[in-house]
Structure 1
Amino acid sequence: MIKKILTIIFLVVLITFYLVTELTRKKAINWEQNFNGVSKDPYGCYILRKTLETSDSLLFIRSSWKTLYESLPSLKSGKTKTLLIITDKFDADSLDLSTAYTFVGEGNNIFISSYSFGKRFCDSLNFKTESVSIASFKSNTDSFNLTNPYLQLTNKATYQGISPNTFDEIDTANHTVLGANYQKKANYIRIPYGSGAFYLHTQPLVFTNNHILNSNSEYPFRAISYFKNTAFIWDNYYKPRNSLIYNESRTPFRYLLSQDALRAALYLSLLIIFIYFLIGSKRKQRFIPVFQQPENSTVKFVTTIARLYQGQPDYKKMAVKKFIYLKEMVHSRYSIKLDENDAQTAIHLSEKTGFPLEKIKELFSIYRRIEASISIDDITLRTFAKLADQIYELENITIVKN
């Protein structure tokens, strides 16, 4: 018992230590560029997405965790919609692009901010981007502004460690430049398509938490102010770590693992369950007392009497004793008082036991002869005992035969 208590105390201390360590441990900052709308990491887009959701002047209708081919056809027609895609590389397949063209052609918009765009997409809309080495990001400082005089910043937005990506070739006859860097190179363009338009941007980092908080918070919101009168759809599929974390099915279990407190609670629950099975699953059972089968003293008594009479045989007395026991049994079982001189008694006994009336009458007749005799031989005793035993056997009563 003491050993068990010490084990429990040790486990409680161990669990407490683990919880304190988990709750007080400083979380390492994740500097990966995930552009995810639920991520509060420096290069997540939680602030932008939350602002769109809570803004009174903007309509945010949903988040999309599926491809363009899967998600866009399910949208109901009505108010003009704008799909926001912020990622490091936008390279959709032909099915997705075909769906996107249909969506925009119906009068909707797609805003894409990405370092680069897939060749199929570039060729279809007739533009190219300038390739820049990622190694130069950290040392690069870039500043840019919007071209619309109503949206221009008083001072250019300056960013440290940001991609200097720009558009290398555009169709000046059909494409509208909405923004450029300090070198006058376009980094934000509008491409009309059908009744809608594609809005393409080449600096996705400006929309992340880090730069909204620490660099310039006006520029990103002015860049998307073209869509004030539309309903926003936030893309969560076309992200850098699509296949690993962010864009697989959002199951409850995945959400538990994504939250520190819930993840710690889950691990603790699993640990408690493991400890329970380790300690509490041992088979618990009280000692079962062993009871000896009750001794049949009647058999011993009959055996003793039999041996007594065997030494000095008195067959008549043995027959009388046997009839007395038979009368007692019949009385206790059937409430019949046997009377060897009463024919009605024999009838009652036959009716209740099913024993043949002729044999009962024969038993009574033999007993009357035994009573009238001074002594009897063993043959008479055996005949009498055999008939009496047959009545006992009807009730599964074991008789020790002489």
Structure 2
Amino acid sequence: MDKKLKIYIGLLVFVLLGIIYIESVKPKEINWYPSYAAKHKIPYGTYVLHKEMPSLFPKKKVKDIHQNPYTFLKDSTNNGTYFFVDNALNFGEDEFSELLKFVKRGNNVFIATNGVHIDTLKTETSILTTSAFEEKAYQKMSNPIFGEIEYHFDRDFSKFYFSEVDTLNTTVLGELVVRNEKDSIISKKPNYIKVKHGKGNFYLHTFPQAFTNYNMLLNNNYEYVANVLSYISTPQKNETGATGGSNSRSTILWDAYYKTGKSGIASPMHYILSTPPLKWAYYIALIGVLFFIIFKGKRNQRLIPVITPLKNQTLAFTRTIANMYYEKSDHKNIAEHKINYFLEYIRVKYRLSTLKIDENFYKNVASRSGNSEEKIKDLFQKIKQIQSKSNITEEDLIALNKAIEDFKAYKNS
């Protein structure tokens, strides 16, 4: 063994020992993966909720369901409240048909997920956006019996709300409240509803994060979860005025099938990286291969092939999207996008808020852009007219585009 090889081996051992030391002393990273699995104690698992279900429903039995709803509900003797909590739920047509039959004969289904689009129940969600510089979102119950308490969840999340409901069969149970930096309410939208179907009900919630370990243990947010679930823990009255029997709603059917974080091993690599000894063996092997490539490469230099860089497809993509809108003749949609981009242009370039369009706003835009105040008023009058129409012509769209481009092209003399 020559001196040079000994140096290389010593360097490799030193690097490996350094990595082992760093890994052993550094704090374990928090896993924020949204698994929603009952066995996971990570922040976005549902271990706490699953453990507390018997205390939240003292008169009901909690049963874990590891089958998909289509297979489980084929047995019509299965009754209770089917409980779904996950990051996203996509039921198949036949599967949701079984859920409809399940509810129609007097059972309940509780679904908490980000975004719900159910044509059968005439229910659709959207994401709430505001123009506030700083905003905070709160969750609250609609019924005054719960008081006017608003619960805040401190991590960022998508603000889904119900933008379309069947007003004849839907009851709003909870709301999403958004406040600005002055603590004034700037928006209030429904995010928890009950939809009657047959003899049973669907309970739909757009904020599944509230039911995770982290949020249930944060401050007094567990009270919010208890309030939400109180609707399905209370016996419902049937058409005759009597409460439902024990067979129909005496069991909470906890869905353990539809979970973002599956209980099983997704791949061999997942198993290797989740087992510390195998993970270290894998990393050491990678480092050894890296050293081999470096030292071997010094002896055998190979020609590096010329790789043609990928073409910029941005322009082609833009043309494709533009042609789609043009072929559909959806002039109104194009105009709305054009207006939104123009308002964003004013906010970014001239540092002006577009929340309130008034005389003071016209003066500020005129002084900063160099355009005349009359020209700016005419432009925003066009925008207002287009926004008030349900459909516009191609000539209206061309006129709007020309007015905006003339505004941007103007330069101070």
Deviation (angstroms), 1:188: 0.6
Aligned ranges 1:83-94 → 2 under 5 Å: 83-94=82-93
1:218 is matched with 223
Deviation (angstroms), 1:257: 5.8
One-letter code aligned to 2:227: R
2:172 is matched with 177
1:49 is matched with 50
- Do residues 129 (structure 1) and 125 (structure 2) align? yes
Q: Sort the Cα spacing of 1:58 and 1:149 in 2 relative to 1 into closer, same or farther, 3 A.
A: farther
Deviation (angstroms), 1:180: 1.2
Q: Sort the Cα spacing of 1:221 and 1:56 in 2 relative to 1 into closer, same or farther, 3 A.
A: closer
RMSD after superposition? 4.1
Q: Sort the Cα spacing of 1:19 and 1:219 in 2 relative to 1 into closer, same or farther, 3 A.
A: same
Q: Sort the Cα spacing of 1:265 and 1:194 in 2 relative to 1 into closer, same or farther, 3 A.
A: farther
Say which SS state the counterpart of residue 220 (structure 1) adopts: helix
Deviation (angstroms), 1:198: 0.5
2:115 is matched with 116
Q: Distance in 1 between matches of 2:22 and 2:62?
A: 40
- Do residues 194 (structure 1) and 214 (structure 2) align? no
Q: Distance in 1 between matches of 2:144 and 2:121?
A: 26
Q: Distance in 1 between matches of 2:254 and 2:24?
A: 32
Q: Sort the Cα spacing of 1:258 and 1:206 in 2 relative to 1 into closer, same or farther, 3 A.
A: farther
Q: Distance in 2 between matches of 1:73 and 1:102?
A: 10
One-letter code aligned to 1:130: S
Deviation (angstroms), 1:58: 4.4
Cα pair 1:52 1:59 within 8 Å, conserved: no
Q: Sort the Cα spacing of 1:27 and 1:184 in 2 relative to 1 into closer, same or farther, 3 A.
A: same
- Do residues 159 (structure 1) and 164 (structure 2) align? no
Aligned ranges 1:137-148 → 2 under 5 Å: 141-148=136-143
Q: Distance in 2 between matches of 1:126 and 1:200?
A: 12
Q: Distance in 2 between matches of 1:204 and 1:143?
A: 14
Q: Sort the Cα spacing of 1:165 and 1:131 in 2 relative to 1 into closer, same or farther, 3 A.
A: same
Aligned ranges 1:341-356 → 2 under 5 Å: none
Deviation (angstroms), 1:74: 4.0
Say which SS state the counterpart of residue 163 (structure 1) adopts: coil
1:95 is matched with 94
Deviates more, 1:209-218 or 1:192-201: 209-218
Q: Distance in 1 between matches of 2:25 and 2:54?
A: 32
Cα pair 1:178 1:188 within 8 Å, conserved: yes
The size of the alignment, in residue pairs, is 247
Q: Distance in 1 between matches of 2:128 and 2:88?
A: 13
2:65 is matched with 64
Q: Distance in 2 between matches of 1:200 and 1:225?
A: 14
Cα pair 1:114 1:203 within 8 Å, conserved: yes
Q: Sort the Cα spacing of 1:142 and 1:57 in 2 relative to 1 into closer, same or farther, 3 A.
A: same
Match of 1:234 among 254, 257, 268: 254
Say which SS state the counterpart of residue 98 (structure 2) adopts: helix
Cα pair 1:52 1:58 within 8 Å, conserved: no
User: C-alpha offsets along residues 183-220 of structure 1, whole Å, 9 cap, x if unaligned?
Assistant: 33111111111111110011111111111111411001
Structure with the greater alpha carbon radius of gyration: 1
One-letter code aligned to 1:125: L
Aligned ranges 1:289-368 → 2 under 5 Å: none
Deviation (angstroms), 1:98: 0.8
Deviation (angstroms), 1:222: 1.1
Q: Distance in 2 between matches of 1:220 and 1:58?
A: 18
Deviation (angstroms), 1:55: 5.1
Deviation (angstroms), 1:159: 2.3
Q: Structure 2: where are the runs of 5+ without partners?
A: 1-18, 178-186, 234-248, 281-413
Q: Structure 1: where are the runs of 5+ without partners?
A: 1-17, 269-402
One-letter code aligned to 1:233: L
Say which SS state the counterpart of residue 44 (structure 1) adopts: coil
Deviation (angstroms), 1:84: 1.2
One-letter code aligned to 1:73: K
Q: Distance in 1 between matches of 2:148 and 2:162?
A: 24
User: C-alpha offsets along residues 96-125 of structure 1, whole Å, 9 cap, x if unaligned?
Assistant: 10111111112111111111124xx2x111
Q: Distance in 2 between matches of 1:131 and 1:154?
A: 24
Deviation (angstroms), 1:37: 1.6
Aligned ranges 1:269-284 → 2 under 5 Å: none
Cα pair 2:116 2:123 within 8 Å, conserved: no
Q: Sort the Cα spacing of 1:140 and 1:209 in 2 relative to 1 into closer, same or farther, 3 A.
A: farther
Q: Distance in 1 between matches of 2:123 and 2:74?
A: 26
2:317 is matched with none
Q: Sort the Cα spacing of 1:267 and 1:88 in 2 relative to 1 into closer, same or farther, 3 A.
A: closer
Q: Sort the Cα spacing of 1:31 and 1:147 in 2 relative to 1 into closer, same or farther, 3 A.
A: same
Q: Sort the Cα spacing of 1:130 and 1:22 in 2 relative to 1 into closer, same or farther, 3 A.
A: same
Q: Distance in 2 between matches of 1:235 and 1:167?
A: 23
Q: Sort the Cα spacing of 1:26 and 1:257 in 2 relative to 1 into closer, same or farther, 3 A.
A: farther
User: C-alpha offsets along residues 198-246 of structure 1, whole Å, 9 cap, x if unaligned?
Assistant: 100111111111111114110011101122264211112223xx4xxx4
Aligned ranges 1:69-84 → 2 under 5 Å: 69-74=70-75, 76-77=77-78, 81-84=80-83
Q: Sort the Cα spacing of 1:68 and 1:28 in 2 relative to 1 into closer, same or farther, 3 A.
A: same
User: C-alpha offsets along residues 233-277 of structure 1, whole Å, 9 cap, x if unaligned?
Assistant: 1112223xx4xxx43x758x99x96997xx559999xxxxxxxxx
Q: Distance in 1 between matches of 2:188 and 2:217?
A: 26
Cα pair 2:56 2:226 within 8 Å, conserved: no
One-letter code aligned to 1:114: T
Q: Sort the Cα spacing of 1:72 and 1:144 in 2 relative to 1 into closer, same or farther, 3 A.
A: same
Q: Distance in 1 between matches of 2:169 and 2:24?
A: 56
